[in-house]
Amino acid sequence: CGLLLALSMAPCLGAEPPASVERLRDAIEADQPRSIALLERLVNQNSGSLNLPGVTAVGELVRAELEPLGFDVQWIDMRATGRAGHLVATHKGNGRGKRVLMIGHLDTVFEPDSPFQRFVREGDSATGPGIADDKGGVVIIIAALRAMHAAGTLRDVDIKVVLTGDEELTGK
């Protein structure tokens, strides 16, 4: 959301966007098919709050996206509470940029016995468990970070990504 706002602000202010914004815009556009494919993989992995292996699998899919960008990814095991766990990913920048916290969640309200299980795309629209809450948000986080990496701006920023595994139904 913040990235899209930043990309859209310059024309509204009558200013030419800096070259880094142009690079971000180009990277996001070029990466769109990959982001949609990631959204489909995430949505097709059931991760109802009580499906501990499913939530863990979604965490592993996210780990596979963040580690190549230079993030140190930790899994906080929460099985003792009856929930899978939380993913915490940390990127240390070079000290010249901002500090950013990105928060989301890995689980959905749709347990394995729900009939609503699959990603379905019709034109520019898609439905499926977690599309908007919050697998779509997770994909936006990853897409923004990949664009920053491609544009060379990620190296400046300290970022922490925290994705809980029990937002929909908290553990004990």
Residues annotated as part of the active site: 107, 167
**Which amino acid, 46?**
N
3-state SS, one letter per residue, for the chain: CHHHHHHHHHHHCCCCCCHHHHHHHHHHHHHHHHHHHHHHHHHHCCCECCCHHHHHHHHHHHHHHHHHHCCEEEEEECHHHCCCEEEEEEECCCCCCCEEEEEEECCECCCCCCCCCCCEEECCEEECCCCCCCHHHHHHHHHHHHHHHHHCCHHHCEEEEEEECCCCCCCC
